[in-house]
Amino acid sequence: MLDKSDARNSKSQAAGPPLDFQDHLARLDAQGLLRRIERPINKDTELHPLVRWQFQGGLKEDQRRAFLFSNVVDASGRSFGTPVAVGALAASARIYAVGMGCAVEDIGDAWMRAIANPLAPVEVTSAPCQEVVVEGDALRAPNGGLKSLPVPISTPGYDAAPYLTATLCITADPETGVRNMGTYRAQLKATDRLGVRMAARIGGAGGYLHWQKYRKLKKPMPIAIVIGCAPVVMFTGPQKLPIDLDEMAVAGGLAGAPIRVVKAASVDLDVPADAEFVIEGLIDPELLEPEGPFGESHGHVALEDFNMSMQVTAITHKRAPVFASILSEVTPSESSVMKRVAYEPRYLAHLRDTLAIKGVRRVAMHEPLTNLRKVVFVQFAPGVPRSEIWRALHGAATLQADIGKYVIAVSEDVDPDNADAVFWSLAYRANPVEDAQIVPYRAAGHGPKSAAQPSSASGGGQARSREESTMLIDATLKDIAPPLALPKREYMERAKAIWDELGLPALTPQPPWHGYSLGDWDAAWDVYASRAVAGRWEESGKETLARRRGGLTPGTPVKSVKD
């Protein structure tokens, strides 16, 4: 168990990414990013809902913390000696950055360097993750095997069982031996059996592609599910890297040193030597088992599907491990932060470097409720040619099959994190008949299913996916426009100082919070405005009196009439 004194040891101050999950927790503790909960907490009804409140309770992202529960019980009153960590991987971008060993603003560059310069893992013969090995009859004991682990229920009231969520699922291609590491949910079925869901859609799981090959061979697929290890290893799972790229080597690139691996105890796979837990087993190549319901990251409960059935052959762990779990379900969540902080810079690099589109300032994925994949904003500097804007929109929509149902271009003055500002841009800067395109034949991607969807009539078939489409919208400023009608910055800043002096409720300014020019403005109007705030507006009235004209229609712009 992680001891409080570990939080401020010299190891927690080391440079570079932490290469052990408990070292990571110690670093979070040293930086005030870890909450310790010592009162009894029911893992089946209380644990995830308690942490969920920091996402649903109106807190800002930088107020979120990792939670470490040291007194975990279940619905029957059973007590677990293993602590449970939730939010420790990506409750916030700052927590994710601690796991990467870099500043938040450097996360994207770190990923690009690691992908370009992977470091192959190094094999060791003994490892902390195998200090305790549970096999054979011990797996099938009434309270043994998986039932001995403090696995929380993620969505009490809907989930059919406790689920492994913070998973690193390791499989290997039976033809090439290339390893894949993915983050897939796993439902507890028995003390020695799991139901594992690997996405079968286009752009889906690498592990699923491996399973298809084992299915043709009519051989069970070896799998190792890692729970708790170096964050740089865990972070590779959700990133959807190229299928032939060894994610363990990419993790080495992130770490700046080869990742230590060891042969699994019961299957022919390499696993991270310093992991907290490893659950090993074989997935049936043919028989699928009903799995679910489970509260999914697309914001709906995933209903019962036929998914993979895993027979557990061994559970190995440290002598004093910490169990890791992540929040998924409705976004924002830990799983969406884990994707966002890496996906956004990767998309920006794709547009800027691969497609060589100049003037792209930022790519932002909408997180609340929509779960990143469906709505993407691309922010542009002024003056980018219309052709380049459309090229960027198409590029963002096609990089991954399940990301970019709606892709919206906005100008530099619009904050893509402010949905109200985006709607303002759509309302006044986009003409749907000219500035919107709809592209058909898109995969439905990550989203809820329902019984109304058609399904295969044969037992060996697969449910038919509903096709969708993509909408691309250019909501950038096409021409000069009058200033935004808010007081200029200096007046708003002065007013805020008075607000704070009066002790009024704390403000969280949302851009745009002051007026600024959008190009359509005349120097004479600056004179008028300066006179107005100085109380000299009558001088302007005298000047306009001398400019009165007849024969005009009310509302005629002054600038359209020559003096």
Q: Which of 340, 372, 332, 323 is nearest to 88 (CA)?
A: 323
Q: Which of 222, 237, 322 is nearest to 280 (CA)?
A: 222
Task: Identify the pLDDT of residue 300.
Answer: 85
Task: Identify the pLDDT of residue 451.
Answer: 53
> Same domain, yes or no, for 228 and 199?
yes
Element (H, E) at 342: helix 334-349
Task: Identify the pLDDT of residue 9.
Answer: 36
Task: Identify the pLDDT of residue 58.
Answer: 86
Cα end-to-end span (Å), the chain: 83
Tell which of 431, 450, 474 closes a domain. 474
Q: Give bridge partners of residue 518 from the DSSP assignment.
A: 481
Are 339 and 89 contacting, i.e. CB atoms less than 8 angstroms apart? no
Task: Identify the pLDDT of residue 456.
Answer: 45
Specify if 35 maps to a domain: yes
> Same domain, yes or no, for 282 and 426?
no
Torsions phi, psi for 405 (to 5 deg) = -70, -40
> Same domain, yes or no, for 162 and 221?
yes
Tell which of 325, 346, 375 closes a domain. 325
> Same domain, yes or no, for 10 and 133?
yes
> Same domain, yes or no, for 465 and 501?
no
> Same domain, yes or no, for 387 and 533?
no
Q: Which of 34, 57, 19, 66 is nearest to 334 (CA)?
A: 66
Domain extent, residue 295, equals 4-325
Specify if 480 maps to a domain: no
Specify if 343 maps to a domain: no
500 CB-side CA count, 13 A: 8
Element (H, E) at 491: helix 489-501
Give per-10-residue mean pLDDT for the chain (563 aa): 41 71 98 97 96 92 96 95 97 97 95 94 97 97 96 94 96 93 94 92 77 96 98 90 86 96 98 98 96 86 93 98 94 92 94 96 94 94 96 95 94 95 96 96 73 47 66 96 92 94 91 92 94 94 93 91 81
> Same domain, yes or no, for 109 and 15?
yes
> Same domain, yes or no, for 432 and 409?
yes
What total of structural domains would you count in the chain?
A: 3
Q: What is the CATH number of the domain that holds 420?
A: 3.40.1670.10
> Same domain, yes or no, for 84 and 151?
yes
How far is the C-alpha of 180 from the C-alpha of 226, rounded, in Å?
Answer: 13
At 522-545, the pLDDT tens digits run 999 999 999 999 999 999 999 999
Specify if 335 maps to a domain: no
Specify if 77 maps to a domain: yes
CA geometry: angle 393, 366, 344, nearest 5 deg = 65
Lay out the sheet containing 41-42: strands in order across: 41-42, 72-73, 79-80
How far is the C-alpha of 496 from the C-alpha of 529, rounded, in Å?
Answer: 21
> Same domain, yes or no, for 306 and 422?
no
Specify if 230 maps to a domain: yes
Task: Identify the pLDDT of residue 202.
Answer: 63
Specify if 560 maps to a domain: no
CA distances from 97 to 17, 100, 111, 320, 487 (A): 9, 5, 12, 26, 37
> Same domain, yes or no, for 410 and 463?
yes
> Same domain, yes or no, for 493 and 469?
no
Task: Identify the pLDDT of residue 7.
Answer: 38
Are 304 and 292 contacting, i.e. CB atoms less than 8 angstroms apart? yes
Q: What is the CATH number of the domain that holds 127?
A: 2.30.110.10
How far is the C-alpha of 296 from the C-alpha of 326, rounded, in Å?
Answer: 12
